[in-house]
């Protein structure tokens, strides 16, 4: 039997399934991944300049403009066939959870509820100084293009600069999100890991944590990212083709 057939049977006979997703699931919606050599964001930008608290302190307008641009890209994008699979599987009566590293909202827009965002989300900013969540008006979200510098708006409570509520390097993951993810990952029967390079910890440990807790692990990726475990299946291909095929 092929890995595809085994994966399909495992998925359709499981009572509880977790989809653990990375940038690759949104790539076919037109949102660039981080590390792909040609189209990846980091082939063109230096993450040290943009995705750390030090970078924000040094050049808040560059970093704020960069996230406005990425938010704009996200609002222009539509969920693809892969994003629709968790809610389709949930509709068949299984317990289905989505744990994502992505800061976009394409899982939600594809009908998944209770999505756990391990690296935060683009939807709501927070204050860099007092950490309180903040809301923005539409005109504060306008951005003309890639690389534009925009002064971050100020916090109404303490006048600190607003930052996106995403997780930068060396920052802790949101405590509740991590705790909820651990509960899901250690109790599911199947974990489907989609479109992630498995480089950025602690999220990268999730597939191994699921395996150690007894789950079957199914990887879906353009490249072989398997970990060499007997309870693991590697499906090489694009998420928008492989995931829907699993439900057939």
Tell me which residues are annotated as active site: 119
Element (H, E) at 124: strand 120-127
Residue whose beta carbon is closest to ligand BJW: 24
Contact 220, 195 (CB under 8 A): yes
Contact 79, 106 (CB under 8 A): yes
Hey, how many other C-beta atoms are within 10 angstroms of the C-beta on 159? 10
Binding partner at 135 among ligand BJW, Zn ion, none, C-beta below 5 to 8 Å by kind: none
Site for ligand BJW in 128-147 (CB under 6 A): none
Give how far Cα 78 sits from Cα of 166, 224, 242, Å: 21, 27, 18
Number of residues near ligand BJW (by CB under 6 A): 34
State in angstroms the smallest separation of the CB of 197 from ligand BJW: 3
State in angstroms the smallest separation of the CB of 15 from ligand BJW: 26
Q: Which residues form the interface with Zn ion (CB under 5 A)?
A: 127, 129-130, 155, 157-158, 160
Whichever of 182 and 222 has its CB closer to ligand BJW, that residue is 222
Site for ligand BJW in 67-126 (CB under 6 A): 101, 103, 119
Site for ligand BJW in 29-48 (CB under 6 A): 33-36, 40
CA distance 79 to 110: 6
Site for ligand BJW in 159-218 (CB under 6 A): 166-167, 169-172, 195-197, 199-202
The encoded tokens of residue 37 equal 């050599």
The encoded tokens of residue 232 equal 């693991």
Binding partner at 153 among Zn ion, ligand BJW, none, C-beta below 5 to 8 Å by kind: none
Of 51, 105, 108, 232, the residue at the interface with ligand BJW (CB under 6 A) is 51
Contact 196, 204 (CB under 8 A): yes
Counting every residue written for the chain, the total comes to: 248
Hey, how many other C-beta atoms are within 10 angstroms of the C-beta on 228? 6
- 11 marked among binding-site residues: no
State in angstroms the smallest separation of the CB of 130 from ligand BJW: 21
CA distance 214 to 186: 8
Residue whose structure tokens are 């980091």: 42
Site residues for ligand BJW per CB under 6 A: 22-24, 27-28, 33-36, 40, 51, 101, 103, 119, 166-167, 169-172, 195-197, 199-202, 220-223, 225, 238-239
Binding-site annotation, residues for substrate: 67, 70
């Amino acid at each position: 039997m092929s890995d595809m057939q085994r994966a399909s049977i495992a998925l359709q006979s499981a009572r509880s399934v977790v989809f653990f997703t990375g940038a690759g699931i949104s790539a076919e919606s037109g949102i660039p991944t981080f590390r792909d050599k040609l189209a990846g964001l980091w082939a063109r930008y230096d993450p040290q300049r943009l995705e750390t608290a030090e970078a924000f302190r040094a050049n808040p307008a560059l970093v704020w403009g960069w996230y406005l641009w990425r938010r704009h890209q996200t609002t222009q994008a539509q969920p693809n066939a892969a994003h629709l699979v968790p809610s389709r599987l949930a509709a068949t009566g299984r317990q289905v959870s989505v744990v994502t590293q992505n800061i976009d909202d394409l899982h939600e827009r594809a009908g998944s509820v209770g999505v756990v965002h391990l690296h935060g989300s683009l939807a709501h900013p927070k204050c860099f100084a007092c950490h309180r969540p903040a809301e923005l008006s539409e005109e504060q979200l306008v951005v003309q293009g890639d690389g534009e510098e925009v002064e971050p708006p100020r916090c109404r409570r303490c006048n600190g600069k607003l930052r996106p509520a995403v997780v930068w390097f060396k920052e802790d993951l949101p405590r509740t999100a991590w705790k909820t993810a651990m509960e899901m990952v250690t109790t599911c029967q199947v974990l489907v890991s989609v479109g992630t390079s498995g480089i950025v910890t602690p999220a990268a440990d999730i597939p191994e944590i699921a395996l150690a807790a007894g789950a079957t692990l199914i990887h879906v990726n353009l490249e072989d990212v398997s970990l060499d475990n007997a309870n693991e299946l590697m499906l090489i291909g694009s998420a928008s083709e492989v995931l829907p095929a699993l439900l057939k």
